[in-house]
Structure 1
Amino acid sequence: MNDVYRIIVNHPQLISFWDFAEQPGQEAVAKGPFPYPLTEMAGPIERVEDGPFGAAAQVKLGQWWNLPRHACPELNFHGKDAKVTVLAWLKRENIPNRGCEAIAGMWNETEKKRQYCMFVNLNIWDSADQVCGHVSAVGGPTPGYPYCMTSAIGSTPIVKEEWHCVAFTYDGQYAKVYLDGVLDEREDFNPYLYDSGLFDGGDDGADFTVAAVHRSNEMGNFYTGAIGGLAVFKEALGEDELAKLCKITV
């Protein structure tokens, strides 16, 4: 266990941290105060010894994890006072982009139950390959648009076949995204002013999903590549703290 791993597991604001050290076919059980189990939904997900904390999950196109909403109440961020940080270590596969790629969050587009989710390559507002933090107070599309358009979007493309630490924070006022511990500033979009809070999906709202979201009546927006760790915190961590957590290199 390295120093950053210890800091994450013992962080006072941590909800859950998944290191994906389990064998393929097993539930990925979180470390930290809430040991929520992620269930593989499209066959066993391969593990490789190539990650910031040792083993990493090698996600093929169409694979993802699910955590039912009722089983993870601490991940159900909603309301005007909602605050959250989603932090992940990614190594994107060097394949042609197939569209936006979901990393993790509670985000169901089909049933208009969007709350929060981190993506890469979101493909709105002239973006491609950057880290993005989607937020919604309405659940459905942004009024006047066919899709949800409210998102913090960075300016730097995430290079494929390299490990990078990506983060998305929301503090009730601003959504922000970070690349390798640095606020990836972009005029008008990062930081992104959004003081409306997060949608309350109710008892039948979105599940917490990793590497995909529900959209167009089926799972989609699949992430392809390695995930070496995923952590969710109940506060919007600042740049200094994220820089410390993202200093691991592989």
Structure 2
Amino acid sequence: MNDVYRIIVNHSQLISFWDFAEQPGQEAVAKGPFPYRLTEMAGPIERVEDGPFGAAAQVKLGQWWNLPRHACPELNFHGKDAKLTVLAWLKRENIPNRGCEAIAGIWNETEKKRQYCMFVNLNIWDSADQVCGHVSAVGGPTPGYKYCMTSAIGSTPIVKEEWHCVAFTYDGQYAKVYLDGVLDEREDFNPYLYDSGLFDGGDDGANFTVAAVHRSNEMGNFYTGAIGGLAVFKEALGEDELAELCKITV
């Protein structure tokens, strides 16, 4: 257990931290105060040994994890006072981009039950391979658009076949995204002013999913590559703290 691992699991604002040390086919059980269980939904997900904390999950196209909404109430961030951080360690696979890639969040486009989700390669507002933090107060598309367009978007492409630490925060006023512990500033989009809060999906809202979201009546927006860790906090962490947590991959 390295120093960053200890800091995460002992953090006062941590909800859950998945290190993906389990064997393929087993549920990924979170460390921290809420040991939520991620279930593999498209066959056993391979493990590799070059992750920032040891083992890492090697996600093939079409694989993802599911966590039912009723089983993870602490991840159901919603309303005007919602505050959160989603933090992940990724090594993107060197394959041609196939579209948006979801990392983690509560986000269902099909049923108009979007709340929050971290993506890479969102492909809106002249973006491509950057980290993105999607937020929605309405659940459905942004008024006047076909899709949700409200997102913090960085400026730096995430290089493939390298480990990087990506983070998405929301404090009720601004959504922000960070690459390797640094605010990846972009005019008008990072920080991204969004003081409308997050949609409340209610009892039948979206599940928490990793490496995919539900859209166009099926799962999609698949992430392809390695995930070496995933942590969710109940506060918008600042740049200094994120730099400390990301130093293992910098």
**Alignment TM class, shorter chain as reference:** over 0.9
Q: CA deviation at 1:106?
A: 0.0
Q: How far apart, CA to CA, are the structure 2 residues paired with 1:52 and 1:183?
A: 21
Counterpart-to-counterpart distance in 2, 1:249 and 1:200: 35
- Once residues 92 and 209 of structure 2 are traced to their aligned partners in structure 1, the CA distance between those partners, rounded to angstroms, is 18
Q: Distance in 2 between matches of 1:207 and 1:84?
A: 17
**How big is the shift at 1:58?**
0.0
Q: Which runs of 4+ in 1 moved over 3 A?
A: none
TM-score, length of structure 2 as denominator length: 1.00
Q: Aligned to 1:248, what secondary structure does the other structure show?
A: helix
| Cα distance in 1, alignment partners of residues 88 and 27 from structure 2 | 18
The whole-number CA distance in structure 1 between the counterparts of 2:67 and 2:248 is: 27
CA–CA separation in structure 2 for the residues paired with 1:50 and 1:59: 14
Tell me the secondary structure at the aligned position of residue 107 of structure 1.
strand
State whether residues 180 and 249 of structure 2, in contact with CA within 8 Å, keep that contact through their aligned partners in structure 1: no
The residue that corresponds to 2:135 in the other structure is: 135
TM-aligned CA deviation for residue 140 of structure 1: 0.1
Distance apart, 1:46 and its partner CA = 0.0
Shift of 1:20: 0.0
Paired position in structure 2 for 1:102: 102
What whole-Å deviation, never above 9, does each CA across 1:141-189 have from its counterpart, x for those lacking one? 0000000000000000000000000000000000000000000000000
User: Between Structure 1 and Structure 2, how many residues are aligned?
Assistant: 250
SS at structure 2 position matched to 1:204: coil
Aligned to 2:75: 75
2:75–2:208 CA contact under 8 A, matched in 1: yes
Secondary structure in structure 2 of the residue aligned to 1:133: strand
- State the alpha-carbon separation in 2 of the partners of residues 62 and 207 from structure 1: 17
Deviations 1:58-78 (A, max 9, x none): 000000000000000000000
> Residues 55-108 of structure 1, C-alpha deviation per residue, up to 9 Å, x if partnerless?
000000000000000000000000000000000000000000000000000000
Displacement of 1:12? 0.1
Shift of 1:215: 0.2
By how many angstroms is 1:132 displaced? Answer: 0.1
CA–CA separation in structure 2 for the residues paired with 1:90 and 1:228: 6
TM-score (structure 1 length as normaliser): 1.00
Residue 248 of structure 1 corresponds to: 248
Give me the identity figure in percent: 97
Task: Calculate the aligned-residue CA RMSD, in Å.
Answer: 0.6
Alpha-carbon shift at residue 249 of structure 1 (Å): 2.6
Three-state SS of the structure 1 residue aligned to 2:16 is strand
User: Residues 165 and 249 of structure 2 are in contact (CA less than 8 Å); yes or no, is this contact kept in structure 1?
Assistant: no
